[in-house]
Amino acid sequence: MNTHLLIENYYAAFNAQNITAMLECLSEDVVHDISQGGSEVGKAAFAAFLEHMNACYKETVLDLVVMVNGARAAAEFMLEGVYLKTDGDFPEARGQKYTLRVGAFFEVQNDKITRVSNHYNLNVWLEQINL
């Protein structure tokens, strides 16, 4: 499978909130660099992260643009979401809607994503949900 299609499949699974299909795109030892946070390693950690996110947020990737250069790829997109359940120390969830520009970076080996790094402006999100 080519890298461009792999990244598109990853985001199609994301939009469907299909954790199983997302995990099929990843290597066993995937590194996940969390925006505004640390890094986690492995599919199990990634699955737990996704389950938490799906409980707290309903998000859809729109206007996806994927760029590939060898074993690396980048994606830019708009993320439309609804804040469903209060997430940790963040403000209380009340069904607030938000839209964010997101950049993501990937490394790929043997047709599997080995690194995912997501980046967005947390302050923009906080402004949108603190209505």
If you classify domain 3-129 with CATH, what class do you get? alpha beta
Looking at residue 1, its pLDDT comes to 67
Q: What number is the average pLDDT over the span 37-58? A: 93
Looking at residue 56, its pLDDT comes to 96
Domain boundaries, the chain: 3-129
Tokens of 46: 């990634």
- Check residue 17 and give left, alpha or beta (phi > 0: left; psi -120 to 50: alpha): left
Q: What number is the average pLDDT over the span 90-108? A: 96
Residues 80 and 97: their CA atoms lie apart, in Å, by 7
User: Mind listing the pLDDT tens digit for each residue in 16-44?
Assistant: 999 999 999 999 999 999 888 889 999 99
User: Could you give phi then psi for residue 18, rounded to 5 degrees?
Assistant: -100, 90
Tokens of 82: 């609804």
Q: In what order do the strands lie in the sheet with 112-119?
A: 39-41, 26-33, 112-119, 97-109, 72-83, 57-69
Looking at residue 58, its pLDDT comes to 96
Looking at residue 36, its pLDDT comes to 80
pLDDT band at 104 (very low <50, low <70, confident <90, very high): very high
Residues 30 and 44: their CA atoms lie apart, in Å, by 10
Between the alpha carbon of residue 78 and those of residues 39, 45, 101, the distances in Å are 23, 25, 5
